Amino acid sequence: MSDNSHSAGLAYRSRYLLLLLIPVWLLLYKNLQWLTDKFVFDILDLPANKHLTEAVRFFIFEVPKVLMLLTLIIFFVGIIRTYFSPERTRKALEGKSLFTGNVMAASLGIVTPFCSCSAIPLFLGFIESGIPLGVTFSFLIAAPMINEVAIVLLFGLFGWKTALIYVVTGLFIAITAGWVIGRLHLEKWVEPWVYELKAGDHPEDEKLTFGKRIKLGFEAVKEIVGKVWIYVMIGIAVGAGVHGYVPQDFMASFMGKSAWYSVPLSVLIGIPLYSNAAGIIPIVSALIEKGAALGTSLAFMMSVIGLSLPEMIILRKVLKLPLIFTFIGVVGTGIIIVGFLFNYIF
């Protein structure tokens, strides 16, 4: 009894804390540009229209802006995610036909909590309960590529249109690539022990009160922002350097529209590179400003975030090499098509 009243008290306290934080957040966010200018021109007393001033101003404005957006969004996404779990996603996917299954798996991939270190148990759990290989892949492609960190950074540095384009094209790639892999019937390239595995009954879900969900939202902020803030800083610092010092249109010759080969080349370079969205997106945003084409940049981002060497090494435990190469090939082709498409449209 005393235990219950204690946790209830905690929940109310966190809700009050929350109410206080939101107006403070809004006030700060609204006045960030003014505060930055005050700091750069009045306190640091830097001369206007100099490269260094521009770089410093960019850094001092963008870092708090992105971190504030991340904190707010991850908090809410953290709460929403307590209503989703791989176990529930699996249940929702059971017995779905191929195409419907792919669409659902890719969409659920966005909201289901996922960490690449859990990729193997998740893969095994899906396959073991009879979810088709292609549907499982749709989930495995969407989950790391489309996540709240990427969406916040795209929204903060590019605007909502680019963020939306990224989500929609990412979903398209996850759905079609998963569908293609399903149609190719590649079960023979999954390690045989996977299909012999017998998983135990799933343990009961933890019962969560709303107060507990809020607490988990705070924990998500602590964990994710605590991990990515350094990448955000480095990414924006590099971005600030590019912003202030690299001449306009510098990137146009090799990442611009006229260089058709830049799309496949960016994807090829992006596959082995591994960075999370927080590190790569600020750099790409600076590249676009200097003349890199949107499609090429989008393709580069997607291949860096969505396909990575460490993930392939983890997946090697359950997939034979030909399937890993097929996976990279199909997803890479999808990304290249998206890159060309956007270079053509914009």
Partner 1 sequence: MEIKILGTGCSNCKNLEKATREAVAELNLDANVVKEEDIVKIMGYGVMRTPALVVDEKVLMYGRVPSVKEIKEMLSK
Those residues whose C-beta lies under 8 Å from the C-beta of residue 106, and which sit 6 or more positions away, are 138, 139, 141, 142, 171, 174, 175, 178
Rounded to the nearest whole angstrom, what is the least distance from the CB of residue 87 to partner 1 in the complex?
6
Nearer to partner 1, 59 or 137 (CB): 137
Alpha helices (H) along 82-132: 86-93, 98-111, 119-128
Nearer to partner 1, 82 or 303 (CB): 82
Rounded to the nearest whole angstrom, what is the least distance from the CB of residue 115 to partner 1 in the complex?
7
| Spatial distance between the Cα atoms of 331 and 323, rounded to a whole number of angstroms | 12
Nearer to partner 1, 63 or 108 (CB): 108
Nearer to partner 1, 62 or 148 (CB): 148
Nearest in space to 284 (alpha carbons), one of 153, 171, 169: 153
| Spatial distance between the Cα atoms of 334 and 177, rounded to a whole number of angstroms | 7
| Spatial distance between the Cα atoms of 281 and 147, rounded to a whole number of angstroms | 13
**Structure tokens belonging to residue 276:** 């999370």
Rounded to the nearest whole angstrom, what is the least distance from the CB of residue 179 to partner 1 in the complex?
23
| Spatial distance between the Cα atoms of 126 and 266, rounded to a whole number of angstroms | 32
Nearer to partner 1, 183 or 202 (CB): 202
Nearer to partner 1, 203 or 247 (CB): 203
Nearer to partner 1, 193 or 325 (CB): 193
Rounded to the nearest whole angstrom, what is the least distance from the CB of residue 125 to partner 1 in the complex?
4
Return the number of other C-beta atoms located less than 10 Å from residue 24's C-beta.
Answer: 9
Nearer to partner 1, 136 or 169 (CB): 136
Fill in the amino acid letter for 217.
G
Rounded to the nearest whole angstrom, what is the least distance from the CB of residue 122 to partner 1 in the complex?
5
In this structure, are residues 290 and 242 in contact, taking their beta carbons and an 8 Å threshold?
yes
Find the Cα–Cα–Cα–Cα dihedral 72, 227, 274, 119, rounded to 10°: -90
Rounded to the nearest whole angstrom, what is the least distance from the CB of residue 223 to partner 1 in the complex?
8
| Spatial distance between the Cα atoms of 296 and 225, rounded to a whole number of angstroms | 28
**Structure tokens belonging to residue 325:** 């190469």
Rounded to the nearest whole angstrom, what is the least distance from the CB of residue 124 to partner 1 in the complex?
5
Q: Which residues, listed in sequence order, are joined to residue 319 by a DSSP beta bridge?
A: 190
Rounded to the nearest whole angstrom, what is the least distance from the CB of residue 113 to partner 1 in the complex?
7
| Spatial distance between the Cα atoms of 84 and 87, rounded to a whole number of angstroms | 8
Residues in the chain: 346
Nearer to partner 1, 45 or 206 (CB): 206
User: Residues interacting with partner 1, by CB under 8 A?
Assistant: 3, 85-87, 90, 113, 115, 117-118, 120-122, 124-125, 128, 193, 197-203, 206, 216, 219, 317
Rounded to the nearest whole angstrom, what is the least distance from the CB of residue 49 to partner 1 in the complex?
45
Q: Which residue has the tokens 């981002």?
A: 301
Fill in the amino acid letter for 109.
G
